[in-house]
Amino acid sequence: MSPHSNPETTAHPPPFQSFCEKLPERFPSTGISVLIAGGGVAGLLAALECWRKGHNVRIVERSPSRLLSGDGFTIGPSALLALDKWPEMSKENERISYESWMSWHKITGEMIKHPAPFQLNPSKAHGSDTKTPTVYRHSRPKMHQMLSDQLDRVGLAVEYGKRVLDYYEDSSSGKAGILLDGGEKLEADVVVAADGVGSKSSRIVLGQEVRARPTGFSIYRAAYPLDETRTYPILDENFPLMEKNTASSQLWMGDGVHSVFGRTTNEMSWYLTYPVNQNNPTRFCGRIYINISLKDHGNGAESWSNLVDPDTVLQTTATIKGWPDFANRLIKETPKDRIHDYKLMWREPQPCWASPSGRVIQIGDAAHTFFPSSGNGATQGMEDAVSLAACLQLGGKDNVHWATRVHNKLRVERVHCLQLLGVLNHEMRGVSADAQPSQAKPVGLLGSWIWNHNPEQYAIDNYENALACLTDARPFSNTNTPPGYVYQSWTIDSILEARKMGKEFVLEGDWE
């Protein structure tokens, strides 16, 4: 056993019975105080999991009240595993998550591959789990509500209206803290930066802001409720539900653009990813690639509150060859104040998410941003939450600074692989208008190494060895990355350079 680990917790003590059947079993108190900044899915789940692991939790959020905006996101089985420990959330998740069948289309709307369930390859499942894993969609507001309600049930109130201006740490006192707008300072044994894209923690963790570089693309996104008593001829004709009212999604792929139309029984959503400078796309092997050197004159913003009206979208669709009129009519019918223009930015994958003294740790989008085409932003944020809570328990109060580094070590290579897949997926969708069925597959959503992962168990199984690697330079290799792949770090420039030289990215090992 390493001198830095907590002998009482590395032996996996049995949790004591919860005082209330509806709450999960809570582990004995570790005495570790955890202060979480940011109440997105990563921050909320981190609060819950830290509570379950016996830590003392406090969570602050800059919004004045519960954040219930946004459309839908994909949450993979590796993240949903966490809910198994929470009886009420498990039940609620059954109610709010939905399966969506997907069909593949040219940008003209012509179908190239029939709708099929978005299921993962069951032959790759191992262990006793015989269920075919399914990728579920969630409404972001409902997921948020579910996590917030559970926090209420454990008596943890999110402290709204508290904006973090800065993070700090003091290795001599063994504390870290945040400075709030208004001058108040809050401290704890560990501060979790879960404040999303552009986190204020970058200064202390990396010594500088992470540069956001334009990709040259922006996304129009809209989601709105459907009135169940009304009929919607355009939807029924062109975007029907599947049998038994199962949700359906259509992915349309075109020359540098791609679009997704999703319909459930009570909601319609659509996205259109487009190059902001239509006249200067970069082509390579017939595909359009991300080009950060584009002069980005778009009106998009990296914000969930940048609204545009339907006419603006129609100006863009007018430039897409073969774009059908029925899709324009759908756009025109989108209720006002529902269309966002979200600018797609790119940030370098960061190797280090922990501050120099290990007392501030970034999770979720604060640590790693994903392209929407990775389908992994929320999933990885939730995996982080589970892994961090487990590592803190395994390390114990005296080793918080090692626990955060071990968590970083266990997670970072996996996340970098997934960030890369998001880029490749984005490019794959930007194929020319004569898209073929062979191109109709999502890179990087179906690999068993992604969904067949249990972040809590992984932390328990690997904590000691990862710690010994950090403290005594003992060899340690992560096993939560694609089998057979030897991890290589990558940068935005390394990808752009490879493209310039005409090189395809060869993914060695089993990514599928």
Ligand X SMILES: Cc1cc2nc3c(=O)[nH]c(=O)nc-3n(C[C@H](O)[C@H](O)[C@H](O)COP(=O)(O)OP(=O)(O)OC[C@H]3O[C@@H](n4cnc5c(N)ncnc54)[C@H](O)[C@@H]3O)c2cc1C
User: 24 or 372: whose CB is closer to ligand X?
Assistant: 372
**Which residue in 77, 300, 377, 396 binds ligand X (CB under 6 A)?**
377
Min CB(472)–ligand X separation in Å: 33
Do 430 and 415 meet the contact criterion of CB atoms below 8 Å apart? no
Min CB(139)–ligand X separation in Å: 9
User: 69 or 489: whose CB is closer to ligand X?
Assistant: 69
Applying CB under 6 A, the site for ligand X has a residue count of 30
Residue with tokens 């969630």: 138
User: 118 or 463: whose CB is closer to ligand X?
Assistant: 118
Residue with tokens 């913003």: 301
Strands (E), 51-97: 56-60, 72-75
Using CB under 6 A as the binding rule, whether residue 69 contacts ligand X is answered as yes
Using CB under 6 A as the binding rule, whether residue 63 contacts ligand X is answered as yes
Site string for ligand X, 127-166 (x = CB under 6 A): -------------x----------------------xx--
User: 262 or 396: whose CB is closer to ligand X?
Assistant: 262
Task: List residues bridging with 275 in a β-sheet.
Answer: 217
Of the listed pieces 37-45, 129-137, 434-442, 465-473, which binds ligand X according to CB under 6 A? 37-45
Instruction: Please report, to the nearest 10 degrees, the dihedral formed by the alpha carbons of residues 204, 207, 208, 211 taken in order.
Output: -100
Using CB under 6 A as the binding rule, whether residue 41 contacts ligand X is answered as yes
Using CB under 6 A as the binding rule, whether residue 303 contacts ligand X is answered as no
Min CB(57)–ligand X separation in Å: 15
Using CB under 6 A as the binding rule, whether residue 383 contacts ligand X is answered as no
Site string for ligand X, 180-199 (x = CB under 6 A): --------------xxx---
Do 23 and 51 meet the contact criterion of CB atoms below 8 Å apart? no
Output phi, psi for 353, to 5 deg: -110, -5
Q: Which among 58, 62, 137, 221 is annotated as catalytic?
A: 221
The answer to whether residue 221 is catalytic is yes
- 196 backbone φψ class: left, alpha, beta (φ>0; ψ -120 to 50): left
- Cα 32 to chain centroid, rounded: 27
Min CB(384)–ligand X separation in Å: 8
User: 196 or 275: whose CB is closer to ligand X?
Assistant: 196
The two beta strands, 339-346 and 307-308, are antiparallel
Provide the 8-state DSSP code for 83.
G
Site string for ligand X, 351-370 (x = CB under 6 A): -------------xx-----
CA nearest to 219, candidates 331, 345, 109, 311: 345
Whole-angstrom distance, CA of residue 456 vs CA of residue 5: 17
The CA-atom distances, in angstroms, between 439 and each of 133, 178, 259, 276, 435 are 23, 47, 15, 24, 7
Min CB(119)–ligand X separation in Å: 21
The CA-atom distances, in angstroms, between 265 and each of 13, 96, 136, 232, 451 are 45, 12, 15, 12, 27
Q: Encoding tokens for residue 198?
A: 């552009």
List active site positions: 221
List interacting residues with ligand X (CB under 6 A).
37-43, 60-63, 67, 69-71, 73, 140, 163-164, 194-196, 200, 304, 364-365, 372, 377-378, 381
